[in-house]
Structure 1
Amino acid sequence: MWKPDRDSAIPLYRQIADHLQEMIVHGEYPPGSPLPSERKLAEQFGVNRSTVVLAYAELRSLGLVESRPGSKTLVSPGWNQSASRTPEWHRYAESGGFLPNLPFLRRIRDALAQDESIIDLASGKLSTDLSPIREINEIMHTCTYHPDNGSDVSQGFPPLREALAAFLERNRGIRTSASSILITSGSQQSLYLISQCLLSHGDAIAVETPSFTRSLSMFQSAGLRIYPLPMDEHGVRPESIRELYSRHRIKMLFVNPNFQNPTGTVLQAERKKQLLDTASELGLPIVEDDPLSLTAYSNNYPLPIRAEDASSNTLYIGSFSKIAAAGLRIGWIVAPKSVIARLADARRQMDMGFSVIPQQIAASFIESQLFQPHMERLRRQLQLKLDTLVASLHRHMDGLVHFSVPQGGMHLWCRVVPQVHDGRFLDEALRSGVAFVPGSVYGAEPGYIRLTYARPQVEEIEAGVVKLAESLRAVME
């Protein structure tokens, strides 16, 4: 009996719709005949009823079926005529050059959107109690709008770039100027601009493995060849760079050295120097993504690579999304002026410039006396949530998962001791009411998971771990 492929890049509802369409076209369901009920099909295919609802909606959009209130879904009597007049939009969607998100990520996103009761140990978002809602609202009352404020500022709102230059020197040890900063709508747009403007189809890049950037389809969409930079508990192993350069002529390195996503590791000082020295000798640019350094629980913030880069080999990416006001969508790139000009030109073609209002708010926030107290509260609460998660794992999953406790960030990287199938584990967890991200999403070998503790409330964390433990035991049987 046919079953949807849970490891396929095609969403489950699309697979079901395509299967039913094939049966209709081949006469297994003639015009006017009833189709199975949503509940029956869900049981038959082992999916949620909502997945079948989406599949039937897709068939209705093609004119293949029709549903009448209080009756079954029927094959449309004139489907062969009506279908010819309806574009098969899903074919267009599947043929685009920009690849969709990975299947596991789409499955998690859809489940969280459909069921708000799921305990979210997957999303890298701050819970509302950790967000500076009061502070941002207070600042918003002081901001004034003028239509010329955002005119011809393709690099970003000048006061924000000035504020960021001071912020980076004060908090990250990076000396730069406003003219060397480009404002983006977050780290992912920064990475997208770099992949599209500074690299070409067929170029080779080296990316930490596991790494958040391995979960992004944008690199494959750009036609880049991706090679893994090996890691251990001390971060990237720089000695692998020469071999990658010699064998594959890599053109760029992508690293996240401080409280790395997903592993939480910090790149050792010796390795940081070796990485810089090797990149400088080979003329390789380093793209450094640094969203979480300021979450160090001990207030001993690890310096970014860019702060120690005297040769300007590093393109530095930052964002406020993980530490403050994700809704403002403020990110930035620090780079040589020629690179900034190229990226700003592309950015202008994409959206004609970023909205000035969130930039005004961000500039006021980082210069205000409200920012540091917010960061101190954020670090305390993240530490509390991490401690709660660790204690809960020891209590309910002792021997089932192994992990090292990070000193900052918001992610706990776990090795699952029993050998289980990633997809079955995730599906069982979502059915039980808890979400996590399988490590394979980040390029890791099977058997790892990332638990993110910034989104759930403290009181939800233990309940989430209990559900996680039950789900793991269920797929072990």
Structure 2
Amino acid sequence: MDWRPDRSSREPLHRQIEHYLKQKIISGEWAPGMRIPPQRQLAGLFGVNRSTIVTAVEELIAQGLLEGNAGGGTRVVSTVWDLLASKPMLNWHNYIAAGTQQPNSQIVQMINQAEFRPGIIRLGTGELSPELLPAKRMQDVLAALSIRALTLGYEEAKGSPRLREAISERMARIGIEAAPSSILVVSGALQALQLISIGLLEPGSSILVESPSYLNSLHLFQTAGVRLNGLPMDSEGIVLKDLARHRQNARDSIMYTIPSYHNPTGIVMSEARRSELVTLSERERLPVIEDDVYRDLWLDEPPPLPLKARDAAGNVLYIGSFSKSVSPGLRIGWIIGPHSVVDRLADIKMQTDYGSSSFSQAIAAEWFASTRYDDHLAELRAALHERRACMLELLDRYLTGIAEWTKPSGGFYVWVRLHPQVSVARLFEEALQSGILLNPGSIYDRSMGSYLRMSYAYATFPELAEGIERLAGLIRTQLQA
């Protein structure tokens, strides 16, 4: 929702909200049977007290537009359409409920919506701040492209030959020998995961993941009928000693890992653990998806070589991306793997979108064609280094004694464990109402309810200072209650 009540209006806030919600129902945007957002969520979205929402909702219930069910939330009343429209309206809710793609969890939907609210302080956002994106260098790239003969039609199924050659050369610098024919250009790492979920795995199979894991915040694999089995982590990465117990069936398991600057914990898998995982993969014939989108964001020293660089058996599918370093809006990533797998995924991609944007691919290839990418990375690392120092100093100042964390060596994230008496669910709602957006640990693993994923990559320095100070105040208020 991009609307908020006008506090300067003489009309009461609850009446403005009542009219707004009523219009949603009458226009058909809110279909019969649809469950409206919870009152706490509406209060956060509209920036009002929950009591204001209660008053507006109760009035709509009295008018027969909404009905409340114990444990089932508040829903649009289907019979109202005969009263409000000249003819019955189509019940889109039935179609929505029948879709195979599972919706995001309620809290993830709230985060996705709140990220675009003006004035919100985004303390958990996993992307670069606009001020860190290379706008000037991107203009130079576009200028260089203006004198080239651009392809305005479709590219090859696997992607632009020029870009795949550039990726091949780039990967060789980190020990990955990949011919252009074994590289598939995709529309970001998220599409890579989607293609794998529908192209390589059958319903009922399982994926071994780190616990917590970025995959737990997605529903790609669950929608495909694939189970996620979590393995614990320590300071060296995913713990492999209990893998046999978690692996249900040798034929249907695959592993997903973010070995460098893990999302959400920031952990870097050690050299020894990487070697152990590759050896285990070969011995157990266990395929591995290596999500390496944060690799270039090292701040202290480069991480160990990728798993793919050690892969002599072709067991590792490697995912890279431009989204975390150059531009999330460019929507360019890549998969590296055996020819047969890349061919299979390329065929599915052609069925899905007939190839990634040829213009975006030309831009990405131009970035790799000169020193622009490395020059940008050097500046970006220096900026992220400064931001990391700022966040750690603020955490020390405001959260010492009520939270714990470790210093990340790269990436975007600080994994913060709060005092066990703090309700992170309540903290999330209270913070949102006060203009602060958090990423609770529970969206990455249900057992991580005491954690926050905090990012130093997006909020400005003043926002970091204001946001963390206000966050500390909300936490201490809870502890004193």
Shorter-chain TM-score above 0.5:
yes
The residue type equivalent to 2:89 in the other structure is T
Matches within 5 A, 1:127-142: 127-142=129-144
Q: State the TM-score, normalizing by the size of structure 1.
A: 0.83
Cα distance in 1, alignment partners of residues 40 and 417 from structure 2: 32
1:271 equivalent in alignment to 2:273: yes
1:459 equivalent in alignment to 2:462: yes
Contact kept? 1:439, 1:448, Cα under 8 Å:
yes
Cα distance in 2, alignment partners of residues 47 and 429 from structure 1: 9
Could you tell me how far 1:240 is from its partner in structure 2? Answer: 2.0
3-state DSSP class of the match of 1:106? helix
1:108 equivalent in alignment to 2:121: no
The residue type equivalent to 1:109 in the other structure is N
Cα distance in 1, alignment partners of residues 78 and 110 from structure 2: 30
1:357 equivalent in alignment to 2:362: no
* 1:267-293 Cα deviation digits (max 9, x unpaired): 111111111111111111000000111
Instruction: Specify which of 124, 127, 134 is matched with residue 125 of structure 1.
Output: 127
Instruction: Select between 460-469 and 184-193 the one with higher mean Cα deviation.
Output: 460-469
1:261 aligned residue: 263
Cα distance in 2, alignment partners of residues 86 and 390 from structure 1: 55
The residue type equivalent to 1:452 in the other structure is S
Contact kept? 2:43, 2:433, Cα under 8 Å:
no
Cα distance in 2, alignment partners of residues 45 and 134 from structure 1: 40
Matches within 5 A, 1:258-337: 258-337=260-339
Contact kept? 1:150, 1:356, Cα under 8 Å:
yes
1:445 aligned residue: 448
Could you tell me how far 1:203 is from its partner in structure 2? Answer: 0.7
Contact kept? 1:241, 1:278, Cα under 8 Å:
no
Cα distance in 2, alignment partners of residues 233 and 266 from structure 1: 8
3-state DSSP class of the match of 1:406? coil
- CA shift in 2, pair 1:77/1:439, >3 Å: closer
Contact kept? 1:163, 1:363, Cα under 8 Å:
yes
The residue type equivalent to 2:253 in the other structure is K
1:241 aligned residue: 243
Instruction: Specify which of 154, 158, 161 is matched with residue 161 of structure 2.
Output: 158
- What is the aligned length? 427
Could you tell me how far 1:238 is from its partner in structure 2? Answer: 1.5
Contact kept? 1:207, 1:254, Cα under 8 Å:
yes
Could you tell me how far 1:312 is from its partner in structure 2? Answer: 1.3
3-state DSSP class of the match of 1:175? coil
3-state DSSP class of the match of 2:404? strand
- CA shift in 2, pair 1:309/1:248, >3 Å: closer
1:433 equivalent in alignment to 2:415: no
Instruction: Specify which of 94, 99, 119 is matched with residue 97 of structure 2.
Output: 94
Cα distance in 2, alignment partners of residues 215 and 122 from structure 1: 14
- CA shift in 2, pair 1:356/1:77, >3 Å: closer
Could you tell me how far 1:250 is from its partner in structure 2? Answer: 4.7
Cα distance in 2, alignment partners of residues 376 and 368 from structure 1: 14
Could you tell me how far 1:244 is from its partner in structure 2? Answer: 2.0
2:220 aligned residue: 218
Could you tell me how far 1:44 is from its partner in structure 2? Answer: 12
1:380 equivalent in alignment to 2:394: no
Cα distance in 2, alignment partners of residues 246 and 470 from structure 1: 46
The residue type equivalent to 1:139 in the other structure is V
Instruction: Specify which of 467, 470, 473 is matched with residue 470 of structure 1.
Output: 473
3-state DSSP class of the match of 1:85? coil
3-state DSSP class of the match of 2:335? strand
Cα distance in 2, alignment partners of residues 42 and 349 from structure 1: 41
3-state DSSP class of the match of 1:451? strand
Contact kept? 1:230, 1:240, Cα under 8 Å:
no
* 1:225-258 Cα deviation digits (max 9, x unpaired): 1111211121101112222225786520000011
Structure 2 runs not aligned, ≥5 long = 1-16, 26-37, 67-76
The residue type equivalent to 1:303 in the other structure is L
The residue type equivalent to 1:168 in the other structure is M
Contact kept? 1:385, 1:458, Cα under 8 Å:
yes
Cα distance in 1, alignment partners of residues 41 and 231 from structure 2: 43
Cα distance in 1, alignment partners of residues 384 and 150 from structure 2: 39
Could you tell me how far 1:162 is from its partner in structure 2? Answer: 0.4
Cα distance in 2, alignment partners of residues 77 and 298 from structure 1: 63
Could you tell me how far 1:420 is from its partner in structure 2? Answer: 2.5
Structure 1 runs not aligned, ≥5 long = 1-12, 22-40, 66-74
Q: What is the RMSD of the two structures over their aligned residues, measured on CA atoms?
A: 3.0
2:368 aligned residue: 366
Contact kept? 2:268, 2:303, Cα under 8 Å:
no
Cα distance in 2, alignment partners of residues 192 and 44 from structure 1: 29
Instruction: Select between 80-89 and 419-428 the one with higher mean Cα deviation.
Output: 80-89
* 1:412-463 Cα deviation digits (max 9, x unpaired): 0011114222321101111122112110100143101100111111232111
Could you tell me how far 1:96 is from its partner in structure 2? Answer: 1.1
The residue type equivalent to 1:182 in the other structure is L
Contact kept? 1:204, 1:248, Cα under 8 Å:
no
Could you tell me how far 1:408 is from its partner in structure 2? Answer: 0.5
3-state DSSP class of the match of 1:142? helix
3-state DSSP class of the match of 1:243? helix
Contact kept? 2:81, 2:88, Cα under 8 Å:
no
3-state DSSP class of the match of 2:228? strand
- CA shift in 2, pair 1:249/1:469, >3 Å: farther
Could you tell me how far 1:327 is from its partner in structure 2? Answer: 1.5
The residue type equivalent to 2:379 in the other structure is R
Could you tell me how far 1:315 is from its partner in structure 2? Answer: 0.1
Could you tell me how far 1:201 is from its partner in structure 2? Answer: 0.7
1:27 aligned residue: none
1:185 aligned residue: 187
Contact kept? 1:433, 1:467, Cα under 8 Å:
no
- CA shift in 2, pair 1:173/1:45, >3 Å: closer
Contact kept? 2:82, 2:88, Cα under 8 Å:
no
Cα distance in 2, alignment partners of residues 98 and 397 from structure 1: 39
Q: State the TM-score, normalizing by the size of structure 2.
A: 0.82
Could you tell me how far 1:98 is from its partner in structure 2? Answer: 0.2
Cα distance in 1, alignment partners of residues 106 and 258 from structure 2: 24
- CA shift in 2, pair 1:174/1:78, >3 Å: closer
* 1:396-420 Cα deviation digits (max 9, x unpaired): 1111110110110010001111422
- CA shift in 2, pair 1:397/1:202, >3 Å: same
Contact kept? 2:154, 2:354, Cα under 8 Å:
no
